[in-house]
Amino acid sequence: MAKVFAKFGIKAIQLSETDSKLGGVETHNDARKCAELFRKHAGEIDGVLVCLPNFGDEKGVADTLKMSKLNVPILIQGYPDDLKQLSPSRRRDAFCGNISVTNNLVQAGIKFSLTSKHVSHPTSAGFEADLQKFLGVCRVVNGVRGVRLGAVGARPGAFNTVRYSEKILERYGISVTTVDLSEIIGKATKLDAQAAAVKAKLAEIKGYAPASRRAKRRGIETGIG
């Protein structure tokens, strides 16, 4: 797992081998230590990867997440067993452990994501793809925390499909500020078309959206724009 983290530039915040047995979370005391560590570094943690090298301790995982109060995306990963080494001393059984851990998280009301395969090795292409997707989820979640949305004008009366609740968004730290289109047009007419800031913004817009006359006509003809 450390190799995969290094490959994608991920900083791991986890218990060391001196904090608990092999740095794992097996007991309630381990969970308290891990939760305290997470709270201490809460500002640095974008997401939590629950790694199950074996069956694992289902309550230890749930207790850690509850006590840490991080409220960040969570991904569950379990190691696959080697079918040639299924003796009592070698069997991991993270397959079953994954079911138990996720069941506990559901009971605790903790949301999580799963890998595309029930169990997957960290160095497999499948897990790397899952991890990259999870990193994207973390970026999106962090990106919308405390975001301010601008609502230009009122929605058309006939379009119920674009309704949304500002109260629900506010509950999750997203605020909405409304502005009338006439105000935007009024301020735009006062701008100096030759100003460096105006030219830079126009260049930025044209860089990601077509702005030629032909594109404009096509947008009108198809009802777009």
Element at 60 (helix H, strand E): helix 58-68
What pLDDT band is residue 215 in, cutting at 50, 70 and 90?
low
CATH number listed for the domain at residues 2-144: 3.40.50.10940
Give pTM, 2 decimals.
Answer: 0.75
Q: Domains of the chain: which residue ranges? A: 2-144, 146-190, 192-225
How far is Cα 40 from Cα 152, in angstroms, rounded to an integer? 40
Per-residue pLDDT tens over the stretch 17-63:
999 999 999 999 999 999 999 999 999 999 999 999 999 888 999 99
In angstroms, the Cα distances linking 219 to 212, 213, 214 are 11, 10, 9
Please calculate the CA angle 11-12-13 and round it to the nearest 5 degrees.
Answer: 120
What pLDDT band is residue 224 in, cutting at 50, 70 and 90?
very low
- Burial string for 79-100 (b: 16+ CB within 10 Å, else e) reads bebeeeeeeeeeebbbeebbeb
Which pLDDT value is given to residue 222? 42
Residue 175 near residue 151, CB atoms below 8 Å: no
Which pLDDT value is given to residue 66? 96
Per-residue pLDDT tens over the stretch 69-116:
999 999 999 999 888 888 887 788 999 999 999 999 999 999 999 999
Residue 155 has pLDDT above 80, yes or no: yes
Question: Which residue(s) pair with 74 in the sheet?
Answer: 48
